[in-house]
Amino acid sequence: MNWSHQKVLVTGAGGFIGSHLTERLVESGARTRALIRYNAATSWGWLDHSSVRADVEMIVGDIRDHDSLKRAMQGVDVVFHLAALISIPYSYHAPLSYLHTNTEGTLNVLQGALEAGVSLVVHTSTSEVYGTARYVPIDEDHPLQAQSPYAASKIGADKIAEAFHCSYGMPIATVRPFNAFGPRQSARAVTPTIITQCLTGNKVRLGNVSPTRDLNYVGNIVDGFVRVAETPAAIGRTLNIGSGREVSIGRLARLIADRMGKCIEIELDEERMRPGQSEVDRLLADNKAARQALGWEPLISLEEGLQITIDWMRSHLDAYRPGTYLV
């Protein structure tokens, strides 16, 4: 795909993955528009200080609002839909807000794209829709199981995307990232939680350290998004973007501490524990379909990605509150 001929819209462009994707699209030559959720501070999230900020057309709005999307979709060829509420713990406290944003918001995005005649929508799913693995590695045919209100809202969003493709012939491809990590990730995620605590002390407070996760560096995930958009054969499909490697939370803490030259004590924090039936015990991606369909593979390893992330967080520690549990 010649990106210089494409007008693209990224929803959730100010967020963790969205800001990295926005930068990649600008660097590829795409005429890039960012939909940023309106806020009183007039912040554009991580794009506030991005080197590509001047090259991005900013649209302030909300995916829960049809009029915002109608304006944002005008003249757009490709939509990358990443806007979502993502914190699993907060979804226990405010489940309706997750349905409004993640499920109804996705419906609004798809309706807006359909009305605007958009050529392609790349929809963002999550590995949380699988729940605890019933078999490993987890392929795209694995049953879906909502073990949190967040997961339920994302299953709803995925199924709406599937319905629009089947009902209206809408060109939609779904990217299902496994556990992203990297610079700019919020403190509600486990990797920055561990790194910031290691940067400020020798004690790391965590919840359950036994579950395993398939951690994939954000640059690998952005590669997956771009390749999906460039691959016509991806339309109508859901593709796992995972590393194919699993690591327990406890082992992850040790890996991070070792790379920082720290001797740490891991302390159980009951507040960080998920409800028993809600904990996803094991995630491990089968990424064969993405390798075959997209020619994609994770180029940055867990260890390389952790070092990049540690170095970035060391110089951006003021953006975090180490030791404070944030849902």
DSSP string, 44-111: -GGGGG-TTGGGEEEEEE-TT-HHHHHHHHTT-SEEEE------HHHHHH-HHHHIIIIIIHHHHHHH
Quote the mean pLDDT of the chain: 97
* 57 domain-assigned: yes
Residues 31 and 57 in one domain: yes
Q: Please indicate, yes or no, whether residues 173 and 31 belong to a single structural domain of this protein.
A: yes
pLDDT in tens, 267-324: 999 999 999 899 999 999 999 999 999 999 999 999 999 999 999 999 999 999 887 8
Of 20-29, 37-46, 103-112, the range with the lowest mean pLDDT is 37-46
Domain assignment present for residue 261? The answer is yes
In contact, 304 and 186? CB cutoff 8 Å: no
Determine the Cα–Cα distance for residues 218 and 49; give it in Å rounded to an integer. Answer: 18
- Residues 159 and 273 reside in one and the same domain: no
Per the domain annotation, does 296 fall within a domain? no
Long-range contacts of 67-70 (CB under 8 A, 24+ apart): 68/35, 69/35, 69/108, 69/109, 69/111, 69/112, 70/112, 70/115, 70/116
Q: Based on the structure, what is the number of domains in the chain? A: 2
Q: For residue 186, is pLDDT > 90? A: yes
User: Could you tell me the pLDDT band of residue 247, with boundaries at 50, 70 and 90?
Assistant: very high
Average pLDDT for residues 107-125, to the nearest whole number? 98
In a domain, 324, yes or no: no
Question: For the domain that residue 273 is a member of, what is the CATH number?
Answer: 3.90.25.10
| Residue 327: predicted pLDDT | 79
Residue 205 DSSP class: E
Quick check: is 291 in a domain? Answer: no
- Residue 13 shares a structural domain with residue 97: yes
The answer to whether residue 40 sits within a structural domain is yes
The domain containing residue 206 runs over which residues?
Answer: 190-213+245-283+301-319
User: What pLDDT band is residue 14 in, cutting at 50, 70 and 90?
Assistant: very high
72 shares its domain with 201: no
d(CA 73, CA 197): 42
The pLDDT score that the predictor gives to residue 323 is 76
- Overall pTM > 0.85: yes
Per-residue confidence (pLDDT) for residue 322, from 0 to 100: 86
State whether 167 and 143 are in the same domain: yes
Tell me, yes or no, whether 225 and 194 share the same domain: no
- Do 42 and 175 lie in a common domain? yes
Question: Would 267 be classed as within a structural domain?
Answer: yes
% of the chain with per-residue pLDDT over 70 = 100
Supply 84's token pair: 């979502």
Q: Are residues 199 and 125 in the same domain?
A: no
Q: Which residues contact 245 (CB under 8 A, 6 or more apart)?
A: 214, 215, 284, 302
Residues 194 and 133 placed together within one structural domain of the fold: no
Q: Evaluate if residue 171 carries a pLDDT over 80.
A: yes
- Is the pLDDT assigned to residue 326 strictly greater than 90? no
Indicate which CATH number applies to the domain containing 229: 3.40.50.720
Shared domain check, 150 and 206: no
Same domain, 237 and 250: no
